[in-house]
Chains A and B, each alone.
Chain A
Amino acid sequence: MSVLEVDNLTKTFGGLVAVDDFSLEVDEGEIVGLIGPNGSGKSTVFNCIMGLYDVTDGEIRFNGVDITSDSTHQIVAKGLSRVSQESNPIDLYSVSENIRLFTLPNSIRSLHGGASDEEIREYAARIDIEDKLHEMPSELPHADVRRLEIAKSLATEPELMLLDEPFAGMNQAEIGELAAQIERFREDGMTMVVVDHNMGGLMELVDRVVVLNNGDFLAAGTPAEIAADDAVQEAYLAGEGLQ
């Protein structure tokens, strides 16, 4: 069953067509890679799904429910969560408090609700930062700040997680570690869409790859099929090449 359905999504900014009639379906338990050269519209697709941009045309459904015009917080409440490309923890709050913020109920009456210390530790442990809970984000190395972003996302108890360039700025060892952790999320039943501009970190991880180029659907298939696809090779020729 499809968890996420993006139907004929179009997003224009003034005269610029950022995403053109793009469709995507994600099944339960899948890890789908969404790749494309820089500027191909991958993050725009994520921003449309998460309600950060108004969709110009098309429809987005989550578990069969239309979420095209929902606000971000409503979409998160329905079980979709995004780990954004930029790390933006709240520097005034410790790692633990940053995670706690993502567990608070969306209610002005809930003055003392939210996750317990034990629950926060569990979210952190799923991405191996449970020993950093009392540190401030500014004290963390880059890879741990990225992990904090994932822990925050986990704390909203998502069914489907959108990961926007999770491997950016990480070294090979860190990429391997993170890929293994993402693999564990799948074993726990999480569905994921991972955006990256190259396939380096994705090859082993994803079940299926969808390629975007200039806002258009270019190709879809298993990682091996995509790696061998001529059209994809060509799209990447101007860029850094398919790795």
Chain B
Amino acid sequence: MISTILLLGTVCSTVTGRLGRVAGTLRRQVLWPVGRTLERLLAPIDRVLDPVADGYNRSLGPYFGEMSGLQFGVIAVSVAGLLTAGYWAPMVGPLLGGGLLRTLALASIWAIFAMSWDIQSGYTGYISFGHSALSGAAGYTTALLIVHVDPTLSIWVTGSVSVLAALVVGLLIALPTLRLEGPYFSLITFVAVLLFYRLTTAFSSLGGIPGFGQPDVFTWDPMLRYYYMAIPMLLIALALTFMARSNLGMILIAIRENEPAVSAAGLNPTKFKLWSFMLSSVPMGIGGVLLVGFTGNVDPSTFVVVDNSIEMIAIAVIGGMSSILGPLGGAFLFEVLNHQVLHGYSTPVRYLFLWLIVLFVLVFARDGLFRAIWHRLGAVRGESE
């Protein structure tokens, strides 16, 4: 027995040692030269854009974070790309298997979820495994209002009440748990979503397994539908970035890094953790309402199932936790891979591949792909951020 373990240990260490060498060679022979070439190509663009970025840094930089010329350029192009996707996506889509606008609309919703998760879990380090309970609360509230109260209620009424419901469920989870330390917070959020899932499947008045088909989609027009999802997403990104770059973000990160130091600074950590959970619940509710308008169906597997909570975490991890914009990018990468690049494969195969990517990022790029790219963009002319 012991000799088997020893043998396995030797094999494992040899394999990981060799893998490490291969990775080292890959980095030296391929990634670094490619990186240097890119830097040489991008440096002039960075220089050209610098005056514009400086103007931004002087006026809005203190509120949304400072950027280098190239970083500013990438953000500007990305925002312009998202705002005009309704026009270019139908032309590019067929190259990627079609339905690109649908994927981008879905990615917008998941970006909202991942960013909302990030401002709470990514920033404070109190990892929630139960965030889909919040979007679920919003989705189910919309469905129940339409089914049991009045099918003609306006979206503004059902939407507002649903976001409020997400906030209430958020407070129900956060109030008793955020004082807890260690793994208890995570475990309770995990149990909360399992509980919610069983609740929705156990009672037919809550729709049971098929859920509710009565809520209508916002629109059948793919272009309009995309903008219904993308515009709120961009506004939420703006609001959360503003919050994350303020004192609040600084305190939340300090809570993650060293909670006793936050108390010693005269700041009440519980109050800020609670606030971050509320700040997370509201956009989760908005995302839930948008998901109803996207699918037209409210059921446990679309809304509540714990896999959804894990997917939000995966997206945030891929993009780069505690950066807001990282999870936004992560959502688009994840959904485009899932529904466009890998669209020919069956769902299990696609997810197998996606989870492998998550694992890869966790092992080799722990800070997230988009954060890594962002920092490289900020340092193309040698100076690091």
Contacts and interface: CB of A to CB of B under 8 A. Distances in A.
A113 B247 contact: yes
A101 interface: yes
Given A73-B268, A106-B268, A108-B272, A101 B263 contact: no
B250 A101 contact: yes
Nearest to B250: A101
Contact of B265 (A52, A74, A102, A113): A102
Contacts of B251: 101, 104
Query: Could you say which of A52, A111, A156 has the most chain B C-beta atoms within 10 Å of its C-beta?
Result: A111
Contacts, number: 81
Interface of A is mostly: loop
Contact of B275 (A52, A88, A108): A108
A48 to B, nearest CB: 15
Given A88-B258, A106-B268, A72 B247 contact: no
B253 interface: yes
A90 B265 CA distance: 12
Interface string A73-87: 110110001101000
B209 interface: no
A112 B263 contact: no
B264 to A, nearest CB: 6
The range of chain A's interface size is 20 to 34
A110 interface: yes
B247 A104 contact: yes
Nearest to A76: B266
B300 to A, nearest CB: 34
B254 interface: yes
Contacts of A112: 62-63, 246-247
A158 B271 CA distance: 22
Contact of A156 (B254, B266, B269): B266
**Shortest beta-carbon contacts, A-B, top 8:** A76-B266, A111-B246, A72-B263, A102-B265, A108-B275, A90-B257, A73-B268, A106-B267
13 contacts: A73-B266, A73-B268, A76-B265, A76-B266, A88-B258, A90-B253, A92-B257, A101-B250, A104-B251, A104-B265, A104-B267, A108-B271, A114-B247
Given A104-B247, A156-B266, 10 more contacts: A71-B263, A76-B264, A88-B261, A90-B253, A91-B257, A93-B254, A101-B262, A101-B265, A104-B250, A156-B264
